[in-house]
């Protein structure tokens, strides 16, 4: 891969992300892809319920005050009705792409703790953030992120082998025949491919954390798709051609420059020393046909002044972009971290109690619509994360 093949950061004209009223109505217009009017009606009711209900998003709570029989109808719409979530998600992504001009696609993992083992994909799994085994579902989402907000537009459930290898569990959860076991990073990559190839969105830059996996396969896939990216890596998982680690670290240290960036979690502007060098990423493990080396940019960041070792390492194919722009793009993950902390409980990301694969995806699609209504709301705050982690109230996003 030559320097001419390396993408640069896209430049979008500045545009306010929530300047028009009626954000909820605008977002609900993407339900037009549902084939039946009753499905569109139940979808609208479900999204408005997610926005209005402040406690756990059970079917009973969402149906409260809407009349008899509504709870069963909502359950049927989410868990049983065979509508395709892909067109709804694609239309939402295109709406946000037009209205908000996102600066990055952030792949964000999600751990959903569960009691019991009946929900699709639940297994005792290692969660590095907790440093222990957790009975949970694991998922990955891709968020469109811009300065004022972010929103998840695609979801994938990471199924462990114990679910995909047992026919009784597949049948019970209605897992499609073409769905196999996948780790969260592969789920995120599948979503990125879908967004780029099927939805026709301009690619990325993709921001992704690969510290728990070998980065070469993911980077090679993104390079092959001509998708720009900035991925965080663990130095022990990165196999680089010469120079050696000590010489490379010295080069990075000598090229450090201060980069100012806005921390969306704290609501403050911070400065980080960042150095960069061109490197060749190798495939690592020996194979009959070794994978092709990748010519990439390695960024090292020193968050603490005076620290000898970098606190972060990032790989990118944005070698022709300014160093500050590349690092600020990577830091949009903080925008997503903030919004996930706020929306995770308030919009019911972890509240789905059904057991079917289809139902989980339908619920998460409706969560994305509800979150988009808050993201496009003109009253959305830009300050630091509220201690209570609350989103704008129902009246602020047009819930009636």
Per-residue pLDDT reduced to its tens digit, 149-166:
999 999 999 999 999 999
Q: In Å, how far are 2, 211, 220, 320, 365 from 292, measured between CA atoms?
A: 13, 21, 8, 21, 37
Q: Is the pTM of this model over 0.85?
A: yes
Query: Hey, what are 224's tokens?
Result: 């092959």
Q: Confirm if 238 and 249 have CB atoms less than 8 A apart.
A: no
Return the number of other C-beta atoms located less than 10 Å from residue 54's C-beta: 12
Q: 372: burial class by Cβ within 10 Å (0-12, 13-18, 19+)?
A: buried
Query: Hey, what are 7's tokens?
Result: 């993408």
User: Which of 218-222, 275-279, 286-290, 302-306 has the lowest average pLDDT?
Assistant: 286-290
DSSP secondary structure letters along 273-291: EEEEEEEEE---S--SSPP
Using alpha carbons, select from 162, 31, 15, 37 the residue that is nearest to residue 90.
31
Higher pLDDT, 181 or 382: 181
Residue 243 has pLDDT above 80, yes or no: no
Q: What is the pLDDT of residue 50?
A: 94
Q: In Å, how far are 95, 252, 253, 323 from 275, measured between CA atoms?
A: 36, 5, 6, 8
Instruction: Give the side-chain half-sphere CA count within 13 A for 44.
Output: 21
Mean local confidence (pLDDT), 56-82: 88
Residue 396 has pLDDT above 60, yes or no: no
Q: In Å, how far are 29, 42, 78, 81 from 36, measured between CA atoms?
A: 14, 10, 14, 11
Residue 353 has pLDDT above 70, yes or no: yes
Rounded-to-10 torsion of CA 236, 240, 242, 243: -50
Higher pLDDT, 4 or 36: 36
Residue 327 has pLDDT above 80, yes or no: yes
Higher pLDDT, 181 or 16: 181
Residue 397 has pLDDT above 60, yes or no: no
Q: How confident is the model at residue 236 (pLDDT cuts 50, 70, 90)?
A: confident
Q: What is the pLDDT of residue 17?
A: 36
What does the alpha-carbon distance between residue 279 and residue 24 come to, in Å, rounded to a whole number?
46
What does the alpha-carbon distance between residue 70 and residue 130 come to, in Å, rounded to a whole number?
39
Higher pLDDT, 381 or 13: 381
Residue 230 has pLDDT above 50, yes or no: yes
Residue 74 has pLDDT above 80, yes or no: yes
Query: Hey, what are 200's tokens?
Result: 């026709």
pLDDT 10s digits, 77-106:
999 999 999 999 999 999 999 999 999 999
Using a pLDDT cut of 90, give the percent of the chain over it: 72
pLDDT 10s digits, 9-55:
654 433 333 333 488 999 999 999 999 999 999 999 999 999 999 88
φ and ψ of 107, to 5 deg: -85, 120
Q: In Å, how far are 14, 150, 157, 158 from 182, measured between CA atoms?
A: 38, 25, 8, 5
Q: What is the pLDDT of residue 69?
A: 79
Q: What is the pLDDT of residue 287?
A: 56
Query: Hey, what are 261's tokens?
Result: 């960036």
Q: What is the pLDDT of residue 15?
A: 35
């Amino acid at each position: 891969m030559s320097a001419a093949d390396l993408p640069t950061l896209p430049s979008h004209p500045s545009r306010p992300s929530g300047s028009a009223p009626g954000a909820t109505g605008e977002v609900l217009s993407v339900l037009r892809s549902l084939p039946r009017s009753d499905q569109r009606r139940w979808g609208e009711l479900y999204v408005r319920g997610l926005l209005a209900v402040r406690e756990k998003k059970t079917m009973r709570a969402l149906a409260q005050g809407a009349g008899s029989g509504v709870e069963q109808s909502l359950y049927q719409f989410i868990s049983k009705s065979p509508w395709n979530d892909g067109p709804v998600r694609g239309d939402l992504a295109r709406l946000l792409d037009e209205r908000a001009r996102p600066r990055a696609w952030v792949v964000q993992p999600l751990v959903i703790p569960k009691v019991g083992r009946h929900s699709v994909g639940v297994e005792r799994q290692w969660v590095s953030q907790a440093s222990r085994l957790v009975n949970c579902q694991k998922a990955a989402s891709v968020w469109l992120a811009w300065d004022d907000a972010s929103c998840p537009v695609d979801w994938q459930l990471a199924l462990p082998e114990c679910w995909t290898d047992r026919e009784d569990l597949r049948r019970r959860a209605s897992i499609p025949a073409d769905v196999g076991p996948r780790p969260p990073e592969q789920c995120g990559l599948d979503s990125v491919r879908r967004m780029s190839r099927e939805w026709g969105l301009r690619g990325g830059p993709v921001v992704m954390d690969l510290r728990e996996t070998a980065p070469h396969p993911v980077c090679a896939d993104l390079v092959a798709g001509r998708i720009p990216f900035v991925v965080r890596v663990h130095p022990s998982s990165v196999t680089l051609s010469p120079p050696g680690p000590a010489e490379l670290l010295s080069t990075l240290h000598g090229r450090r420059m201060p980069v100012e960036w806005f921390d969306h979690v704290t609501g403050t502007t911070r400065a980080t020393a960042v150095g960069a060098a061109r490197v060749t990423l190798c495939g690592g493990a020996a194979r009959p046909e070794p994978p092709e080396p990748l010519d990439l940019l390695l960024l090292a960041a020193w968050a603490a002044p005076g620290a000898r070792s970098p606190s972060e390492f990032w790989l990118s194919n944005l070698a022709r972009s300014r160093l500050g722009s590349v690092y600020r793009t990577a830091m949009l993950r903080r925008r997503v971290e903030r919004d996930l902390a706020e929306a995770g409980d308030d919009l019911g990301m972890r509240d789905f109690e059904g057991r079917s694969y289809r139902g989980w995806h339908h619920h998460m699609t409706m969560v994305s619509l509800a979150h988009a209504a808050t993201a496009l709301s003109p009253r959305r705050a830009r300050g630091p994360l509220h201690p209570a982690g609350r989103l704008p109230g129902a009246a602020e996003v047009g819930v009636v």
